[in-house]
Amino acid sequence: MLPDFEPIHLLYLSIAIVLEIGANVLMKQSHGFAYKRPAVAAIVCALAAFTALSYAIRGIQLSVAYGIWGGVGLVATTVLGMTLFGERLRVSGWVGLGLIMLGVGLLKFA
């Protein structure tokens, strides 16, 4: 955390994560950008996510914010993939999920 960290920066990071999850789901629905409308919506969501991230890094180191953003976003996207798209995790997938959560936890307290 940077010296001028305030709770508002965590809020910006949360907004960035929510937008990133939206972008991932839309990207999935574009089937590798084959469908133009979700693809464009995904890019707009991602640009908004990065904009929120740019406010978060006023109080949180970029490497920490980016790690948490990527890790939490991916875990949430996986859970959504399971519930919305019926994806299944093999054992290695669950191990990966655990490692990401462990890494994000460590990063937050490093």
Partner 1 sequence: MRYWLFMAVAIVTEVAGTLAMKYGTHHGSHAQGLAVMYVMLVLSYTSLALAVKRIPLAVAYGAWESLGLVLITVCSAWLFAEVLSPVKLVAIALIIAGIVLLERGTDEAPKEDGRAS
CA distance 80 to 76: 6
> Which of positions 7-36 make contact with partner 1 (CB under 8 A)?
28, 31-34
Q: Which is nearer to partner 1, 7 or 83 (CB)?
A: 83
CB atoms near residue 9 (< 10 Å): 19
Which residues neighbour 100 within 8 Å (Cβ) at sequence distance 6 or greater?
A: 71, 74, 75
Count, residues near partner 1 per rule CB under 8 A = 53
- CA dist 47 → 10, 20, 59 (Å): 18, 9, 20
Report the Cα 15 to chain-centroid distance in Å: 10
Determine if 1 is a binding residue for partner 1 (CB under 8 A): no
> Which of positions 42-101 make contact with partner 1 (CB under 8 A)?
42-43, 46-47, 50-51, 53-55, 57-58, 61-64, 66-67, 70-71, 74, 78, 81, 85-101
Contact residues toward partner 1 (CB under 8 A) are 28, 31-34, 39, 42-43, 46-47, 50-51, 53-55, 57-58, 61-64, 66-67, 70-71, 74, 78, 81, 85-107, 109-110
